[in-house]
Amino acid sequence: MTHKALVKKMLKQPAVKAEYDAQAEEFVLLDELLRARRQAGLTQAEVAARMGTKTPAVARLEAGGGSRRHSPSVATLRKYAHAVGCRLEIRLWPREQRKKAEPVTAADRGRDSGSS
């Protein structure tokens, strides 16, 4: 059985599916970290050197960046982004996303401050 087939089979179980869905945001973060490092053509050791840390710290960040055991600080994410030649951008999305939903932006914050 392939990994893909096993995942598909396991996700048919309601409890497994619920836990998987609960971690979806963490998976997105991990995918973003790995994609950015690979696009920069860097190893974990090279990213660690640029961040002023050690390779195992980068490995932990990429393996469980948003896990309940350890959530990285914004400062750490900013250092990682800088090390791979990116900038950090954090967005809040409406819970009920539509196909054309847009993130909450800085312009939207002005509307929430009481000025209409």
Contact residues for 65 (Cβ-Cβ < 8 A; gap 6+): 26, 29, 30, 33, 71, 72, 77
Q: Tens of pLDDT along the chain (116 residues)?
A: 898 899 899 999 999 988 888 888 788 888 999 999 999 999 999 999 999 999 999 999 998 854 556 688 999 999 999 999 999 999 888 877 655 555 555 555 555 544 44
pLDDT recorded at residue 105 = 57
The domain segmentation of the chain, as residue ranges, is 13-90
Domain covering 13-90: architecture: Orthogonal Bundle (1.10)
What is the pLDDT, as a whole number, of residue 113? 47
Radius of gyration of the chain (CA): 18
The reported pTM is: 0.66
